Structure 1
Amino acid sequence: MLKRVLVTLFVTVYFTSCKTVKLAKSIDQKITTSFFDNQFTGIYIYDVTADKILYNYNADKYFTPASNTKIFTLFTGLEMLPDSIPAFKYAVNKDTLTIQATGDPTFLHPFFKDSTALKLAKKYKKVHLLANNISDKKYGPGWAWEDFDSYFSPEVSAFPMYGNVVAIQNEYSIKLTPTYFADKLKITDRSYGRKELSNSFYFGKNRKRDTEIPMIINDSLLLSLWNDILPNKVGLIDKSPLKPATIAYSIPKDSLFKRMMEVSDNFLAEQILVLASSTLSDTLSSAKARNFILEHQLQDLKQKPRWVDGSGLSRYNLFTPISFVEVLTKMYQNMPEKRLFQFFPVGGKSGTLKNWFSGNPKPYIHAKSGTLGNNYNLSGYLITNSGKILIFSYMNNHYMHSNGEVKKRMQMIFEELRDNY
């Protein structure tokens, strides 16, 4: 009986090993063609159940990750934030409410429309707002200056409102949120945008697509936006004799993370790190959150990243494929698969992967893409036809091909893994 078991085990190990070697050779053949000559490619594939590395190509080299950075941001939020988002801290003295900012991005946001702060503020005669407790600059290091009015580049702030953007719709007539900017919007023949140094916006009269244009955030605007919804009630203060210590909570954190990952929302990613820092001290600092997670939960990473923002907009970020797989593995081992996979775009079905990597007949890719000019990366989870879970990171930097051509070659490798492992 024992002999039979040992023989069976030997045969299983032998054929599994042969299959792995065959797959590795096939991937080698695909990525050593002339197509890859003038780009930088890194691939790391890990069988999490078998605790086995299936493939490693330049996986310990550093790459520009683009929005793959949001995987680290997701991990930070999961580790540092409570089940519901800390909307703000507050204290009450008779008829006065003092609110201290935590960086919560959901307040009156076009998608979440959270009104936790507004509901509480309505109950008091006076509202004092402390929002000078952030050390982050409005843009991350290395962000492109010309993106100041692009939808994907809202400013970072201590107390965001409306997602820090002006949202414009033109289905039957022009609708603007917040309406405070109605007299600052000019209808033109051009597409859309904003003056570089002022909150003066323009929008094409024939444009039908829903549009978001970042605001310039400052104390004056924050005060005006608050008093637009609560007239003559809200004031900004630099310090308070009261210490706001009670925490008010807004939406479930998973809802925030899912939105951030599915549509690759840069603003939400940046604010999640600011939020995470609010659990460490009253001073809001995304750097403090990044350093904390690297020094504690991620101190065992084989290659420490250069991690400068939450979204991946900065080209200063440098990460290795191995690091992404390590973090993805930690998340896979620490939470139910169903909850984890909900955060990631699904190949051929949702988010940034809706038009790529579709399954036949069912989805098999749950992953986060990362795109900048001449860079495309994808890291996440691949489910094989045999039911195995592979954790992977496939990074492409500095190519001159189209993104579509790069994705086609990635898809060939993913489908081979799906069908033959």
Structure 2
Amino acid sequence: MQGNSIAGGKTPLRKYFDANDVFRESHTGLLVIDAYDGHVVFDYQSHKHFTPASNTKLLTYYAATKMMGNTLPSLEYCVVDSSLYFTGTGDPTLLYHHFGYAPTLDFLRHSPFELNYVERPMEDQRLGPGWSWSDYAYYYSAEKSSFPLYGNVVQLRKAASENKTTVVPKAFEIQLFTKLDTSATDYSVNRQEYENVFYLNLPGGDIEVDEDVPYVYSSETFLSLLADTLHRPIILASRFPADCARQSFYAVPADSVSKYILKDSDNFLAEQMLLNISSQLGDTLSSDKTIDYMMKSHLSELSAQLHWVDGSGLSRYNMVTPRAMVNVLNKLYLEVPREKLFAFLPESGVSGTLRRSFVSLSGNIHAKPDR
């Protein structure tokens, strides 16, 4: 069945699309294929380009399956005389609340050598192209960086019965200014755009606070947080020694990151995944480098159907056709073990960003929605 006709007439689904004002007056595309033999079941404007939003994370995950090994490279290092030199790879997991034990921190903490940090060159700006840069204080716009800590956010937590707000990392506690606003009905949080100065406005009465606010990333902030965590000094070095043979230190399973990218639609992890992959392609971290590699190799047949800009889908510049997205989904379906793929995708009425959707079809839909 080729989408719009059965024996010369329109299918019931095509008639529904044509009769429904929502579809007729909006930009809509749909492609349904049979996963077993690939034949087209229904096709409605699948050649047109759309903004994919968080569907972009499927592209990021596919890049991880093709270019990432079983474990993320967490840092690169070498030892010269009595000094250990290290640099970041974009690994997003260190002290991020999704992840527990951090072998990378133990590696640095227990090193018998003097620690010297070399800042990794990074092509990406702090926020991505086509993002809403005015959203810098919202958790979903955490800054990209070469060596993230705490997910590059500050956690603000307060129980309704308590007066004190807990701040993690604690180092930011003195930079939080709290104000009582009895005219407000809920709390609000803000941050100065280019400084780590945070404002928490609280209404009168008992109120619970549960907020993650991105912090402004810099080498100085990173070194201060890491030294505080390791309880030992770290020297900022300008470069690796000339005779330094760099090695990679691997820490967290790649699948543990990919699961949160798909199931929880974590923007920060998706952006950092592209940077982490690029650490294997050269010294400079670059999302574009990872995307270009994928588009010239594993996705070369989709070059006219896919304009891929970032890892998370926050960018309004991402453009993709339904045909291209179905192509990528089919690649994943054929190349990733079924049980694993379905475990990573949100499940209707059960988990992730579909846990409150399609509840009547609970457990029967595995998909990556556009949020």
Quick check: TM above 0.5?
Answer: yes
**Structure 2 contact 2–43 (Cα < 8 Å) conserved:** no
Once residues 156 and 68 of structure 1 are traced to their aligned partners in structure 2, the CA distance between those partners, rounded to angstroms, is 20
Q: Name the amino acid aligned to 2:15.
A: Q
Residue of structure 2 aligned with 1:99, choices 58, 69, 86: 86
RMSD, aligned α-carbons: 2.2
Structure 2 Cα separation of the partners of residues 356 and 279 of structure 1: 38
Distance 2:141 2:101 in 1: 21
Q: Does residue 184 of structure 1 match 2:175? A: yes
1:74 to 61, 70, 73: 61
Q: 1:75 to 1:37 in 2, by over 3 A?
A: same
**2:348 match:** 347
Instruction: Tell whether the 8 Å contact from 2:261 to 2:269 is kept in structure 1 after alignment.
Output: yes
- The aligned residue for residue 174 of structure 1 is 165
Please identify, of 268-277 and 297-306, the stretch whose mean Cα deviation from structure 2 is larger.
297-306
Q: Give yes or no for contact 1:82–1:253 (8 Å, CA) kept in 2.
A: yes
- Structure 1 equivalent of residue 184 of structure 2: none
Query: What is the aligned partner in structure 2 of residue 150 from structure 1?
Result: 138
2:2, 2:310 → 1: CA distance?
Answer: 40
Q: Is the aligned partner of 1:30 residue 2:20?
A: no
Find out whether 1:124 has 2:115 as its counterpart. Answer: no
SS in 1 for 2:344: coil
Over 3 Å counting, the alpha-carbon distance change for 1:124 and 1:203 in structure 2 is: farther
- 1:151-170, CA deviations, whole angstroms, 9 ceiling, x for partnerless residues? 10000000001100001211
Measure, in 1, the Cα distance between the counterparts of 2:275 and 2:2. Answer: 46
Contact 2:79 2:244 in 1 (8 A): no
- Separation in 1, partners of 2:270, 2:369: 14
1:53 aligned residue: 40
- State the alpha-carbon separation in 2 of the partners of residues 51 and 314 from structure 1: 31
Cα deviation for residue 29 of structure 1 reads: 2.3
Structure 1 position 352, deviation (Å): 1.0
Aligned 1:13-412 pairs, distance under 5 A: 21=6, 25-32=11-18, 33-122=20-109, 123-171=111-159, 172=162, 173-188=164-179, 189=181, 190-205=187-202, 207-231=207-231, 233-241=233-241, 242-243=243-244, 245-301=246-302, 303-360=304-361, 362-371=362-371
Q: 1:81 to 1:174 in 2, by over 3 A?
A: same
- Runs of at least 4 residues of structure 1 off by over 3 A? 20-24, 204-207
Provide the secondary structure at the position in 2 that maps to 1:92.
Answer: strand
- What is the rounded CA distance, in whole Å, between the counterparts of 1:244 and 1:367 in structure 2? 44
The answer (yes or no) to whether the contact 1:60–1:303 under 8 Å persists in 2 is no
Tell me how far 1:30 sits from its aligned partner: 2.2
Give CA-to-partner distance per residue, 1:288-316, whole Å, 9 cap, x none: 00000110011122734111111110101
Unaligned runs of 5+ in 2: 182-186
Q: In the TM superposition, what is the alpha-carbon distance from 1:260 to its structure 2 partner?
A: 1.2
What's the CA shift for 1:21?
A: 4.3
CA-to-aligned-CA distance 1:77-104 (integer Å, 9 cap, x gap)? 1111110111111112343221121100
**1:235: Cα distance to partner?**
1.8
Structure 1 SS opposite 2:177: strand
Give the 3 Å change call, closer, same or farther, for CA 265–207 of structure 1 in structure 2: farther
Structure 1 range deviating more: 129-138 or 83-92 = 129-138
- Contact 2:50 2:321 survives alignment (8 Å): yes
Q: Shift of the alpha carbon at 1:331? A: 1.1
Q: Is the 8 A contact 2:59 2:328 kept in 1?
A: yes
Alpha-carbon distance, 1:287 to partner: 0.3
C-alpha distance in structure 2 between counterparts of 1:274 and 1:183, whole Å: 32
Number of aligned residues:
355
